[in-house]
Copies of this chain bind each other. A is one copy, B any other.
Amino acid sequence: MRLIIDTDTAGDDAFSILLALKTPGVTLEAITICNGNVDFSQQTENALYTLEVAGYSDKVPVYQGCPLPLLRKEVDATEFFGVDGMSDAHFPKAKQRPESKHAVDAIIDLVMSNPGEIDILAQAPLTNIATAYAKEPRIVKALRHLWIMGGTDNSLGNTTPASEFNFYVDPEAAKMVINAGFRQTLSTWTLTMNSGILPQEALARIEAMNTPLSRFFMTVSQAPFKRTKVRYGSPLSTHPDSLTCACAIDESLILEAADCLVDVETGSELTRAYSSICVPLDEEQAKIDKLWPAGKPNCRVIKKADTDRFAEKLIAVLDT
């Protein structure tokens, strides 16, 4: 599998990169940085440091993309991840430097010159993917598969009641990408909450193993632990990005999925970035029920994933 990871590297974004780097059979062709969690340059540094801590310095090019959402004012998640996105660990600056080529061009060039070969894991707001699509709509057909972490699947959001962070940051980009016609799979915040929380025992094992990567994991996780304790009553190790990566790498982790019609709200503040997700009616059904969405599905939505096998994969990676 030839993979591009588009990321606003902070917290779990980094673990997702580790997973891709350390899984045999996966070639991480590029890391592309998108605006999102924390300061844009800091996100680049976080990606570069993650490569270094994993022993992959200079093995994967890092491209910087769009530093701002398309038309919304910037928001960030520093309250969740710390100002540096790494629980304020303030890691040393990595030796590898970002490429001068723009992430949008890196995506277009890789995808267009390798038709049917490249998967993208989009684990950030979708500004880069949307801008690549605006520039070169033919990536829709040339890309093998788009894996998106974003949205909610008819459950409470993590940013507003109606919405999840990645979609909230750039709803127009999300709407563009979801409706562009990609072969695509959506991994929602709802999935994170039902399948992407690391079990306590797994967490204990990680803490106990005391490898460089397990220490990296524990250090990076401290701020999210604190915030989830306040929000949910106990510290949660939530893995939206790395669970999506795990599913992309090994689809047998997907226990349940549905072909859905997905759309994104861009016209209202109360429901900004709400992801409408349903199994659409077919033509016959639409004659009876005139209000429910009808038509062809445009996105596979993961409904349930194998938490235990995901945890095993993550632990295995941190144990190297």
- Residue numbers of A with Cβ under 8 A of B are 66-68, 70-71, 75, 79, 102, 104-105, 127, 130-131, 134-137, 154-156, 159-162, 168, 172, 175-176, 179, 263, 265-268, 270-271, 274, 276-278, 288-293
Counting chain B CB atoms within 10 Å of each CB, the highest count among A154, A155, A278, A288 belongs to A154
**Given the interface contacts A266-B267, A293-B160, does A134 sit within 8 Å of B137 by beta carbon?**
no
> Which residues from B are CB-within-8-Å of A135?
66, 102, 104, 131, 135
Q: Select A292's contact among B160, B266, B293, beta carbons within 8 Å.
A: B160
Q: How far is the CB of A135 from chain B (nearest CB, A)?
A: 6
| Complexed CA–CA distance, A277 and B130 (Å) | 29
In the bound complex, what is the Cα–Cα distance between A296 and B75 (angstroms)?
A: 23
A136: B residues at CB distance < 8 A? 102
**18 sample A-B contacts, Cβ–Cβ < 8 Å, listed by A number:** A66-B134, A68-B134, A70-B70, A70-B130, A70-B134, A70-B172, A127-B134, A131-B134, A154-B156, A159-B291, A159-B292, A160-B291, A161-B292, A263-B270, A267-B267, A267-B270, A270-B271, A271-B271
Instruction: From known contacts A66-B134, A135-B102, A156-B154, infer whether A71 and B266 are also in contact, taking CB-CB under 8 Å.
Output: yes
Whether A265 pairs with B271 at a CB distance below 8 angstroms is yes
Give chain B residues whose Cβ lies under 8 Å from the Cβ of A267: 266-268, 270
- Docked pose: A263 CA to B161 CA in angstroms: 11
Min CB distance, A83 to chain B, in Å? 13
Smallest Cβ-Cβ distance to A177: which chain B residue: B71
Closest to A133 in B: B68
Least CB separation from A275: chain B residue: B161
How many Å from the CB of A60 to the closest CB on chain B? 22
Residue of B68, B104, B271 touching A162 (CB-CB under 8 A): B271
Cross-chain contact A277 with B131 (CB below 8 angstroms): no
In angstroms, Cα B104 to Cα A161, docked, is: 33
Residues of B within 8 A of A168 (CB): 291
Known: A71-B266, A162-B276; 4 extra A-B contacts, CB below 8 A, are A70-B70, A105-B105, A168-B291, A271-B271
Contact A68 B137 (CB under 8 A): yes
What's the nearest-Cβ distance from chain B to residue A3, in Å?
Answer: 23
Enumerate the 8 nearest inter-chain pairs by beta-carbon distance, A residue then B residue, closest first.
Answer: A267-B267, A271-B271, A161-B278, A154-B156, A268-B268, A267-B268, A71-B176, A161-B276
Which residue of B has the minimal Cβ distance to A260? B161
Q: Are A71 and B156 in contact (CB under 8 A)?
A: no
Report B-chain residues with C-beta under 8 Å of the C-beta of A75. 290-291
- Which of A79, A271, A288 has the most C-beta atoms of chain B within 10 angstroms of its own C-beta? A271
Evaluate contact between A172 and B278: CB separation under 8 angstroms: no
Residue of B nearest to A71 (CB): B176
A35 to B: closest C-beta gap in Å: 10
Q: In the complex, which residues of chain B have a beta carbon less than 8 angstroms from the beta carbon of A266?
A: 71, 266-267
Q: How far is the CA of A102 from the CA of B137 in the complex (A)?
A: 13
Q: In the complex, what distance in Å separates the CA atom of A266 from the CA atom of B271? A: 10
Smallest distance from the beta carbon of A240 to chain B beta carbons, Å? 17
Of residues A175, A179, A267, A278, which shows the largest number of chain B Cβ atoms within 10 Å of its Cβ? A267
